Amino acid sequence: MSRLVVVCGGSRGVGRAVSRLLAQRGCRVAVVSRDKDKAQDTVDSLHGGEHLALSCDVSKEQEVKKTFEFIVQTCGNIWGLVNSAGINRDGLLLRSRPQDMEELLGVNLLGSMLTCRAALRSMFHTRAASIVNIGSVVGVKGNVGQCVYSASKAGLEGFTRSLAKEVASRNIRVNLLAPGFIRTDMTAGLREEALVRSVPLGRLGEPEDVAHAVLFLLESPYITGQVLLLDGGLQLAM
């Protein structure tokens, strides 16, 4: 039976690329997104025909609980979880509205906590399982105008390391991938030439670059509690 991987935020950008690569490698993929139609569009593009498209707001506890219960009832136990759902609200802290802070933290940090908790109930029944949370180089290095976003990703790093310690005895691995500038809709409004000048490799990352790193962390049997920077050398110049 093919391994089941849940990809939260799997309908666009990085999550879509991750879903496609996993399907190509023979996994059964549950694509979770706020937008059911976009999730279904991703599923329709995947190799194989036994994938799921599901609508869920990962910041809402009951929605997460019901979604993961349905996945397990329909497909069996979960082998992998990829938390790529995320939003951004750039701006100086003094200009940031509390409601925007709450929404950002709710999706980027609380959402991953809720989905991990929901997935673990199933993962405990498997011999091995793997979780990859998608952070950001900004969560490691910080950046002007991204205080709240940086805090959400830095919090995700601490959460990842702590959870890795909690579940290691069950042979469940938890790692964090921290991308730099990736060509997605979140970077579409930025000046690409200026961004590229700050990256030693001389280009933006592609969603497929992230997907291959996610696959590496999902499958590596002796790596847990780690943060892998995927930024073209950006941290060298910061």
**Pairing mode of beta strands 80-83, 129-134:** parallel
Instruction: Compute the distance between CA of residue 67 and CA of residue 86 in angstroms, rounded to an integer.
Output: 18
Residue 20 CA neighbour count, 13 Å, CB half: 17
d(CA 208, CA 35): 22
Write the Ramachandran bin of 91: left for phi over 0, alpha for psi from -120 to 50, otherwise beta.
Answer: left
Determine whether 222 is an active site residue. Answer: no
Nearest 10 degrees: Cα torsion 185, 191, 195, 201: 80
For the chain, what is the radius of gyration of the CA atoms? 17
Residues, the chain: 238
Among residues 79, 149, 159, 181, which one is catalytic?
149
Active site residues per annotation: 149
